[in-house]
Amino acid sequence: MGLLLNLIKGIVFGIVQGITEWLPISDAGHMMMINSWMPFIITDPEKLAAFWQLFKVFLQFGCAAAVFVQFGNKLNPMAAEDEKEKDRITRLWLMILIADLPSGILGLLLYKVLHTTLYTAVITAVTIMIIGAVLIFLPTSNTKQDSLNRITLPVALKTGLIGILSLLPGVSRAAGMLIGGSLSGMSRRTAVEFSVVSAVPWIIIGGIYRIFTAHAPFYASAIPVFIVGMIASFVVSSMVISSLRTFVRRNSYKSFGYYRIVLGLLMLILALMKVMPEVLLG
């Protein structure tokens, strides 16, 4: 019975991860709230901590797989029809790595400090609302940076520097990169697409880091939960990425901003009422 319930919860978490990984609405905040309502049935705290670290890796690997399905031709140099196309793909990967570098370096250096000092329910709720307000008033760009292939090195670097905000709890990587891309001169669609493709190195490197820092012993009964969660996150991610690319053609980020403010208020109320854990799951 415990395994069946954990499988159902694994699917639910996979669905939520597949949605919130790509929308600028804070995946961590949603995960925290859901975990407070339906935690996994694992009594050993040490095993639960290790389970959660590895479970998040599988969920995000499912998300990353969806990126390759949606952007396969734009990300795979081996599929290029000619050298010119191969050069464009290689250049895009260079821009992605440049944008990911600032957050990657600081995240590696400050991971323990951030997670032991800032990752609380109250701080997360407040930052969710602050970023919500930013998204509401974020200006729309009329720049020529309207394609992934036209992103320049300065734009990629500026996007990455602003994207450092994503290290803060409640901001989310998607929101950090969307804000960075928009303020750096990208069109909404390009900012969304760049936010999506730039997640791949972050997910892979972060996943490897989590695997090697999960100190509790791994147990085989968790594998089915990992697999169903990963499948759910992959399927939902594929649908969300496709829908989001269409949505931002005609709509601004304001709806996401309003949603974040409501979410942040709800989280703050639940946190102050002690309904949810004080510490955010890593």
Tens-digit pLDDT profile for residues 130-140: 999 999 998 87
From first to last of the 282 residues of the chain, give the pLDDT tens digit: 578 888 999 999 999 999 999 999 988 888 878 887 888 887 777 777 778 888 989 999 999 999 999 987 788 887 777 888 888 989 999 999 999 999 989 988 887 777 777 888 888 899 999 999 999 998 876 565 678 888 999 999 999 999 999 999 889 899 999 999 999 989 888 999 999 999 999 899 888 887 887 665 667 778 899 999 999 999 999 999 999 988 988 888 999 999 999 999 998 998 888 777 666 555
The two three-digit tokens of residue 225, written as one number: 């939960």
Q: Report the C-alpha gap between 51 and 195 in whole angstroms.
A: 28
The answer to whether 96 touches 197, Cβ cutoff 8 Å, is yes
Write down the residue that tokens 């978490």 correspond to: 13
Q: Report the C-alpha gap between 87 and 16 in whole angstroms.
A: 36
Q: Where do the domains of the chain lie?
A: 21-37+50-272
Write down the residue that tokens 């989310």 correspond to: 172
Q: Report the C-alpha gap between 198 and 97 in whole angstroms.
A: 8
Beta bridge partners of 120: 279
Please tell me the predicted confidence (pLDDT) of residue 183.
92
Write down the residue that tokens 């990126």 correspond to: 67
Alpha helix positions (H), the chain: 2-20, 27-37, 45-75, 83-117, 121-137, 153-162, 173-183, 188-197, 199-212, 223-250, 254-272
Phi-psi region of 280 (alpha: psi -120 to 50; beta: other; left: phi over 0): beta
Q: Report the C-alpha gap between 197 and 92 in whole angstroms.
A: 9
